Amino acid sequence: MSNVVVIGTQWGDEGKGKIVDWLSEKADLVVRFQGGHNAGHTLVVDEKIFKLSLLPSGIIRKNTNVLIGNGVVIDPFHLKKEMDELQSQNIKISSENLIISDSAFLILPIHQVIDKLRENKKNTEKIGTTGRGIGPSYEDKVGRRGLRICDLYHKEELSLKLSKLYGFHNIWLKAMGEKNLNPEDIFENLWDIGQKLKSYVQPSWYLINKYNRSGSNILFEGAQGTFLDIDHGTYPFVTSSNTIASQAGVGSGLGPTDVDYTLGITKAYTTRVGSGPFPTEDESEDGILLGKRGHEFGTVTGRQRRCGWFDSVLVRQAVNLSSIKGIALTKLDVLDGFKEIKICTGYSLNGKIVNYLPSSEKQQKNLKPIYETLKGWKRNIAGTRSLKDLPKEVKFYIKRIEELIGCSIIIISTSPERGDTIYLKDPFDQY
């Protein structure tokens, strides 16, 4: 038995979906433990594309069960839509292979209205929210007024709680000069969608522990990336949940001593969507070329990602924050053809060298990257499936990254295709 947590080590979009898809072949259960449908995973299997945002990546595997944990916030209408889309692609989804936590909190239409209004009314730099209601839903959770999946199955109580929630938010809407929203407008649709999802809903913590006691392999799938973490990220330009490995247990109901291995997913360069500090951002031709070659557009929003060179300071910090034991290096083939490749080895802040990401927003904005320049490679490595077939310059790049971040690279991805991956170690075979 082995339980593995997979997280992103940068600002998301590291290619977690493909790696989780591969690992899920050996997993009995794949668990999403935080975030909402603001996280997009794209899987390419035999040239067929699957786009997921709430359902764990293991759902496309025939013999793998998946679970949406209590730490996830769920838009029930979007979830049903995503399920229907996958079923139209001949993916089997039933109460036998999909479990939804009865204590996961709901994203409601009013949350999305508030999310978009706040972002659009900002006079200063925007956070870069997807506008899907994730932040307001988490706020209601912490404020102890949110609705959960289990509330969908008691009609009178659902009506009462929905009215109270809308009453609370209508005060703000009125103050902003906006039209108040009526909970009755969504009540019947919410009740109906609850009935459609009912067969999938179970006490997830109980089932996870049952899997754990039986000696099963459990894979925990994180969303977003380390530096979008509400506590450890580039605040306030972050998501509304914890994205580091510690959240896996909290967001699913499993104790911390039952996690055996944490795998960090790391892109061979760096990208970011939306606003916020980005020390190694490259707005020159190199950065533009990285974006074009890497097809850097968000799965959820379609927004173009900001691109830059590999930041070893960030990834080393992520390794420490989540006790990462191995790295999956993705999109290495995007660097094909560059004469020179840069790696950020430290920062300069007001004339002083800094070897970590400061917490201060002002300091983060003033960081200047210190680069080490490596020789690039001319050969196309896309589709390479063996370490020995990589050019020596690629091997040196990989080795240098390992030295700088203090962690071994155990998986190397050379294209979006499932099979185009070099596996040096298997996280499930470490114990």
390 dihedral zone (left: phi>0; alpha: psi -120 to 50; beta): beta
| Packing angle of the helix pair 155-175, 109-121 (nearest 10 deg) | 10
Instruction: Give the pairing type, strands 340-349 and 352-354.
Output: antiparallel
Full 3-state SS string of 137-185: HHHHHHCCCCCEHHHHHCHHHHHHHHHHHHHHHHHHHHHCCCCCCCCHH
Distance CA 114, CA 131 (A): 8
User: For the CA atoms of the chain, what is the radius of gyration?
Assistant: 22
**Residue 71 · residue 142 · CB < 8 Å:** no
Residues with a catalytic annotation lie at 13, 41
Decide: helix, strand or coil at residue 108.
coil
What's the Cα-to-Cα distance from 47 to each of 50, 84, 295, 415, rounded to whole Å? 10, 21, 16, 12
In the chain, the N- to C-terminal Cα span, in Å, equals 8
DSSP letter for 77, please. Answer: H
| Packing angle of the helix pair 392-405, 312-321 (nearest 10 deg) | 50
Question: Quick count: other Cβ atoms within 10 Å of Cβ 201?
Answer: 21
Strand partners, 4: 219, 261
Distance of CA 255 to the CA centre of its chain: 21
